[in-house]
Structure 1
Amino acid sequence: MSIEQLFSPTGPLALAFKGYRPRQAQIDMAKVCDSALKNAEQVVVEAETGTGKTFAYLLPALTNKGKYIISTGSKALQEQLYHRDLPTVYKALGSAKKKALLKGRSNYVCHYRLNQHVAHVPSDDTDIMHQLAMVAKFAGESRSGDIADCPGIEDDAKVLPYVTSTADNCLGKECPDFDACFLRKARLRAAEADIVVINHHLFFADMAVKESGFAELLPGADGYIFDEAHQLADIASDYFGESVSTKKVFAFITDARMLYRTELRDMLQLGKTLDKLESATMDLRLQLPHDGGRGDWRQALSNKPLCDAVHRVSKDLQFLNQVLKLALERSELVEPLLERLMSLIAQFERVFDVAPSGYSYWYEASRRHVSIHITPLNIAAKFKAMLAEREAGFVFTSATLSVNNNLAHFSDALGLSPAHQLMLASPFDYQQQALFCLPRYLPPANSPEMPRALVGICQQVIKAAKGRCFLLFTSYRVMYMVAEVLCQQMEYPVFVQGQMSKRLLLERFTRHGNAVLMGTASFWEGVDVRGSALSCVVIDKLPFIAPDDPLLQARMQECERGGGDPFAQIQLPRAVISLKQGVGRLIRDSQDRGVLVLCDNRVVTRDYGQVFLQSLPNMRRCRDMNQVTAFLQTIE
């Protein structure tokens, strides 16, 4: 059956869905996806919200012969695609293709580690003890072992490191629970399936494993489809680079202590050495600013106390290596620990080698940990070579790929040579469905008066919309300043990022129907709230990356050395795509109506503001907040 027949008024979709109407944009996208999968081509498609891009790539994948891997930008979209969209299309087509969902190893319960920690509870923390019991019950009943399905265990649960494995601590075939391993079973299902749904992180983890000379995690495929492809360049940079963190060291100490408390209890020197390493690792974090953030690692190394702290960790790791070698004959668990330890030693030595060019050397400090990163500034050649190794079709799609009506920024960053490029506009009637307001008399975006102005604007729209607002911020600091006032003064519930997991926040916001949700970067994309629960999106300012971000600075310097314009080629495109993602939260359906309020007058006072405006949907525009109030009051 041809693409036209599949999407025709008498095709399988029309028979399966009441009120189905063919959409030309969807058919155009399905045709180029079909061509890419059949002819091993690369295609790039920007398909704005409402185009129906998911069905446009799923139908060719399900009707063509061969095996296809579909990669998404987030686990949330991965779940939605596998549990909602795929079954719908399967049913419409009557497809018999085998499908599988595959996540990274940290998503599956590890029987061995779970049993170890149930027998030797890792701490007297009642939360961890309670969560261990819940996971143990779940593991005994679950077929998949996917921790996302375990009731009561959220993404940030304290117990996760104790009940899941990493590539470092997995025992592989030596594991006593190898036959029952949930991860092994998931990979076997993926190997046998015709359609495998993964996420971008897993795709690149697979590439990294393959490059190191080990077997692939993912089976080969005839075609790869990347949804939310705008995230690929940043994720690829992480995986093509190197990093080491104190969190990784603490995880090693936890596992080594477990061995010490069970099989090597008489090795007092091992216990003391682990304590010494733990103290040195904690001291390393204390050498960096208390409030955390990112910084230039090259500059940081000029700080002698910090340099000494890194050396102490490195020295203690090397001494621990000598101590552990003494126990090699006593337990089969010592050898894999030694392999991990050698890797950590090499990584800590590598962080002093900051001479090679073409990389950004930067660190990120959180409240408890610090991670040090060596990130390549240009991954186009490496990604291009990686695709060339696979004789397959590649589809890259997202609602936000273009900047100023051009896809070159996306394709160039990944070294792509697409056979077809499409930009498909949304079918939504934005002129009727939405209003865009840039309020008058705003203070400058970064002025101290801005939080107070934001509070006033937010109060007005929340009152007019009867809750039902997303307030999106570019910084935690401003978000918390505004939240402090709104939580005290508004009659509607205000949910703030960090109060609970993202999934729970969204569930509660949607279920309430008249609530307010405040979030930063992670809420700007991958959030789909349709209908009356959301009527207004307020964005505090244009989402430029902080100019002191070390990775951004390194990329801009590299661009400047090549004779380019760092602002136009690096900063501006990233900010435009981020803004498009935030704006995309507002209208998710042909019945949705709502208001976008952008509180940054640089879109009219700076020349580059036109690039932002031209990249946004064609909404009615105003400067008067009274018009916003009037529009919101007409929405039921």
Structure 2
Amino acid sequence: MSLSDLVAQAFAPDGPLARGPAHFYPRSGQAAMAQAVAQAIHSRERLVVEAGTGIGKTFAYLVPALLSGERVLVSTATRVLQDQLHGRDLPLLLRALALPLRSALLKGRASYLCRHRLELALQGDGAHQYGAQLADLARIERWALATRTGDLAELPELDERSPVLAWVTSTRDNCLGQDCPRFRECHVYQARRQAMSADVVVINHHLFFADLAVRASGVAELLPSAGVVIFDEAHQLAEVATEFFGMRLGTGQLLELAQDMLVIGLRCARGLADWQGVQQRLRLAARGLRLASGGQDDPAAIPGRMRWAGATPDGVDAGRWAAALQAAVDALREALAALDGVTVLAPDLAHLHERTVALLATLLHFSAPWQADCVRWLDRASQLRLNESPLDVAPALHALWHGQPAEPGAWDEEELVAARQGRAWVFTSATLGDDPGLRWFTQACGLEEARILRLDSPFDYACQAALHVPQQLPPPTDPSHSEQLGHWVADAVQRLGGRTLVLTTSLRALEVIASTLQQRLPPGCGIEVLVQGQAPKRRIMERFRAPAGEAGHVLVGSASFWEGFDVPGDALQLLVIDKLPFPPPGDPLVRAQGQRLHQLGRSAFRDYALPAAAVALKQGAGRLIRSESDRGVLVVADQRLLRMGYGKRLLRALPAMPMLESQEEFEAALDAFTRISTTDCPVP
């Protein structure tokens, strides 16, 4: 029996899926996607599928992959979806299909406890630095005694922003590998060993790209033997690949090296070098770089990205910058001098030497002129990062999809032969473009020859949703736009009783809107204002999804809430997007891409900014309707959607839904949610 026949049987009305998962029911779009994936596996094709919300794409790609008999890699953009696939979807399908396959979950190093790093953190020389974070460290220490996987996702109460995490996890730089005294108990290597013997391995995009060339995890070894590779949430693929194929150096790396120099130096070579002096000079070098860039220590600095198109980043004093770079180079060379002669005493010291050499090489690279086919910039946020990325990753990705490794010499001859025999590559997401050819995605990822399939959402947006563009608000370029939108949202939230998500296109807008809402909706008013950054994301999402019997909620979020945040049911019935999500024109990457397109005779706005905005708008709007019973109103607080010519293209990217023309119609729709069953249409 062919794979296509097996898939058809699985999705049949009386098939194993219908008899298994309680929430499964036959969907034509899901069956069509599953057959397309089966064909791609049979023919060793590259398949790109845009599957609208509600298609059920997870089952659509997993069922043919599991039935194929091939080894399968599934890569996602987020660890949340990784956990969902491995912990819920895969076990459910394996039971329903009665398949005796083994699955494994493989994350990056930062997701696993490093027992050796925990021991270093608990030592007296290092633990004093934590201060208020000592409670987190104690919680991790207790959990470490019982955990089998070492996956930090087992600690949902731990704030993912806690600085302690950096001291109890390893990086590629500081991992000792087989020289580690706790190697036999290493959670990272245990996960990799399980992955090597599994039939289905769930990874993430960052891990996939970061480890292909360096062979630092099981991914590089797994890939040549995998017959099927699936990228879910594939719309993020080009961005992640751009990060991987570039170079970066952060002041955080210098600070981590400084701390490890002190702790490891005192533990393994006390009295053989001035370890405190080495630490101090590295810390001063990191601070000097931040100060020279106008970073956090400068009260006049504005966090963000700074273009670096010449010898010096824009707006940075050339003399101060050159002196800061040289000071950092000197500090690293002094660290190497301290390590010379003592590296034989302990593996920790030898790895410190390797880290220092690698950081020095990267810093010297950034001290040299940049290449024309790359873009270089500074990123000023919680730390200063020096970044360089290629302008076009499509050629490298095209080579990868055709059986070539990311770097020469990354695979041996046997692996190359296996890879070139072909494998099926499947790329899927709810948003991959706004044209039939999905060019926004395929051009950036080197997939212009791939087979394309577009499947619209099965949801009845004409009855389940409506669109409103407020006319009384100032244009988005007006400085008062965010504050006035905050007041407008407060009125709507009070009318609806919460159930509102506000997505902003910038952190500045988030701060203004959140502040306005918190003033208008103080504690005790019956509506709780949740704000990204004011609590762990996991906790914010749980509060927002709280049962209807509790207080109403309004959540204000920026980039991390535009995707991967599902709130089915009545907990979300009003979604507000503050502005059309065009790429910021001042961003160095955006400017460089625009200049590259101009040199090629193309339009930066039409061929880059507009399709990117359409995809982002579609992605954000997708938070509203997540099931057949959901009802809600989408608000885009940007009149350009209706008044500018390009607005028609952006409207076409959204699901077809009725327009609420006036404020009165909008308020009537909100009243309908509080007055009648939400099975009724929200449009008056």
Deviation per CA, 1:169-213: give whole Å up to 9, x if none: 111111111111111110011111111111111111122324x99
Decide which moves more: 186-195 or 148-157.
148-157
1:596 counterpart (622, 634, 640): 634
* Corresponding residue of 1:186: 191
Q: Provide the C-alpha distance between the structure 1 equivalents of 2:569 and 2:219, rounded to a whole number of angstroms.
A: 46
Q: How far does residue 117 in structure 1 lie from its aligned partner after superposition?
A: 1.8
1:421 counterpart (448, 452, 460): 452
Alpha-carbon contact 1:435-1:628 (below 8 Å) kept? no
* Corresponding residue of 1:567: 605
Q: Provide the C-alpha distance between the structure 1 equivalents of 2:293 and 2:568, rounded to a whole number of angstroms.
A: 43
Deviation per CA, 1:548-599: give whole Å up to 9, x if none: 1011111111111111111111111111111111100000000000000000
Q: Provide the C-alpha distance between the structure 1 equivalents of 2:671 and 2:181, rounded to a whole number of angstroms.
A: 63
Q: Provide the C-alpha distance between the structure 2 equivalents of 1:281 and 1:370, rounded to a whole number of angstroms.
A: 8
Q: Provide the C-alpha distance between the structure 2 equivalents of 1:160 and 1:510, rounded to a whole number of angstroms.
A: 27
* Corresponding residue of 1:539: 577
1:526 counterpart (553, 559, 564): 564
* Corresponding residue of 1:397: 428
Q: How far does residue 3 in structure 1 lie from its aligned partner after superposition?
A: 2.0
Q: Does 1:328 align with 2:332?
A: no
Map 1:465-544 → 2, pairs under 5 A: 465-490=496-521, 491=525, 492-511=527-546, 513=548, 514-544=552-582
* Corresponding residue of 1:85: 89
Q: How far does residue 58 in structure 1 lie from its aligned partner after superposition?
A: 0.8
Deviation per CA, 1:388-447: give whole Å up to 9, x if none: 123210000000012144412211111114552111011101011001001113321111
Q: Provide the C-alpha distance between the structure 2 equivalents of 1:21 and 1:331, rounded to a whole number of angstroms.
A: 60
Q: How far does residue 28 in structure 1 lie from its aligned partner after superposition?
A: 0.8
Q: How far does residue 125 in structure 1 lie from its aligned partner after superposition?
A: 3.1
Q: Structure 1 residues 278, 452: closer, same or farther in 2, change over 3 A?
A: closer
Q: What is the letter of the counterpart of residue 536 of structure 2?
A: S
Alpha-carbon contact 1:29-1:57 (below 8 Å) kept? yes
Q: Structure 1 residues 258, 226: closer, same or farther in 2, change over 3 A?
A: same
Q: Structure 1 residues 19, 550: closer, same or farther in 2, change over 3 A?
A: closer
* Corresponding residue of 2:30: 26
* Corresponding residue of 1:48: 52
Deviation per CA, 1:445-495: give whole Å up to 9, x if none: 111131233023202221222100001111111221121121122231000
Alpha-carbon contact 1:36-1:42 (below 8 Å) kept? yes
Q: Does 1:100 align with 2:104?
A: yes
Alpha-carbon contact 1:297-1:372 (below 8 Å) kept? no
Decide which moves more: 405-414 or 592-601.
405-414
SS in 2 for 1:333: helix
SS in 1 for 2:387: strand
Alpha-carbon contact 2:370-2:376 (below 8 Å) kept? no
* Corresponding residue of 1:363: 378
Deviation per CA, 1:321-368: give whole Å up to 9, x if none: 11210323433322111111110000001012234111011110114x
Q: Provide the C-alpha distance between the structure 1 equivalents of 2:401 and 2:185, rounded to a whole number of angstroms.
A: 34
Deviation per CA, 1:259-309: give whole Å up to 9, x if none: 122122213523212211211211210122322210112353462212211
Q: How far does residue 151 in structure 1 lie from its aligned partner after superposition?
A: 4.8
Q: Provide the C-alpha distance between the structure 2 equivalents of 1:354 and 1:463, rounded to a whole number of angstroms.
A: 56
Q: How far does residue 628 in structure 1 lie from its aligned partner after superposition?
A: 1.7
2:365 counterpart (340, 350, 353): 350
SS in 1 for 2:638: coil
Q: How far does residue 148 in structure 1 lie from its aligned partner after superposition?
A: 1.1
Q: What is the letter of the counterpart of residue 91 of structure 1?
A: R
* Corresponding residue of 2:411: none
Q: Provide the C-alpha distance between the structure 2 equivalents of 1:338 and 1:280, rounded to a whole number of angstroms.
A: 18
Q: Structure 1 residues 452, 334: closer, same or farther in 2, change over 3 A?
A: closer
Q: How far does residue 124 in structure 1 lie from its aligned partner after superposition?
A: 4.6
Map 1:22-421 → 2, pairs under 5 A: 22-120=26-124, 121-210=126-215, 216=220, 218-219=222-223, 220-289=225-294, 290-299=301-310, 300-301=312-313, 303-367=318-382, 369-389=383-403, 390=419, 391-421=422-452
Alpha-carbon contact 2:116-2:180 (below 8 Å) kept? yes
Q: Provide the C-alpha distance between the structure 2 equivalents of 1:193 and 1:308, rounded to a whole number of angstroms.
A: 52
Q: Structure 1 residues 406, 451: closer, same or farther in 2, change over 3 A?
A: same
Alpha-carbon contact 1:270-1:324 (below 8 Å) kept? no
Aligned-residue sequence identity (percent) comes to 37
Alpha-carbon contact 1:209-1:217 (below 8 Å) kept? no
Q: Provide the C-alpha distance between the structure 1 equivalents of 2:32 and 2:210, rounded to a whole number of angstroms.
A: 33
Q: Structure 1 residues 218, 209: closer, same or farther in 2, change over 3 A?
A: farther
* Corresponding residue of 2:681: none
Alpha-carbon contact 2:273-2:338 (below 8 Å) kept? no
Q: How far does residue 79 in structure 1 lie from its aligned partner after superposition?
A: 1.1
Decide which moves more: 307-316 or 13-22.
13-22
TM-score, with structure 2 as normaliser: 0.90
Q: How far does residue 127 in structure 1 lie from its aligned partner after superposition?
A: 3.3
Q: How far does residue 214 in structure 1 lie from its aligned partner after superposition?
A: 11
Q: Provide the C-alpha distance between the structure 1 equivalents of 2:341 and 2:335, rounded to a whole number of angstroms.
A: 10
Decide which moves more: 179-188 or 111-120.
111-120
Q: Provide the C-alpha distance between the structure 1 equivalents of 2:129 and 2:427, rounded to a whole number of angstroms.
A: 48
Give RMSD over aligned pairs.
1.8
Q: Provide the C-alpha distance between the structure 1 equivalents of 2:273 and 2:342, rounded to a whole number of angstroms.
A: 12
* Corresponding residue of 1:439: 470
Alpha-carbon contact 1:405-1:615 (below 8 Å) kept? no
Q: How far does residue 14 in structure 1 lie from its aligned partner after superposition?
A: 1.2
Q: What is the letter of the counterpart of residue 307 of structure 2?
A: D
* Corresponding residue of 2:483: 452
Q: Provide the C-alpha distance between the structure 1 equivalents of 2:450 and 2:578, rounded to a whole number of angstroms.
A: 39
Alpha-carbon contact 2:486-2:517 (below 8 Å) kept? yes
SS in 2 for 1:259: helix
Structure 2 unaligned residues grouped into runs of 5+: 295-300, 404-418, 679-684
* Corresponding residue of 2:591: 553
TM-score, with structure 1 as normaliser: 0.96
* Corresponding residue of 2:660: 622
Alpha-carbon contact 1:209-1:215 (below 8 Å) kept? no
Aligned residues: 634
Q: How far does residue 19 in structure 1 lie from its aligned partner after superposition?
A: 7.3
Structure 1 unaligned residues grouped into runs of 5+: none
Q: Provide the C-alpha distance between the structure 1 equivalents of 2:653 and 2:601, rounded to a whole number of angstroms.
A: 26
* Corresponding residue of 2:408: none
Q: What is the letter of the counterpart of residue 50 of structure 1?
A: G
Q: What is the letter of the counterpart of residue 318 of structure 1?
A: R
SS in 2 for 1:372: strand
Q: Structure 1 residues 383, 167: closer, same or farther in 2, change over 3 A?
A: same
Decide which moves more: 63-72 or 328-337.
328-337
Q: Provide the C-alpha distance between the structure 2 equivalents of 1:450 and 1:292, rounded to a whole number of angstroms.
A: 21
Alpha-carbon contact 2:309-2:375 (below 8 Å) kept? no
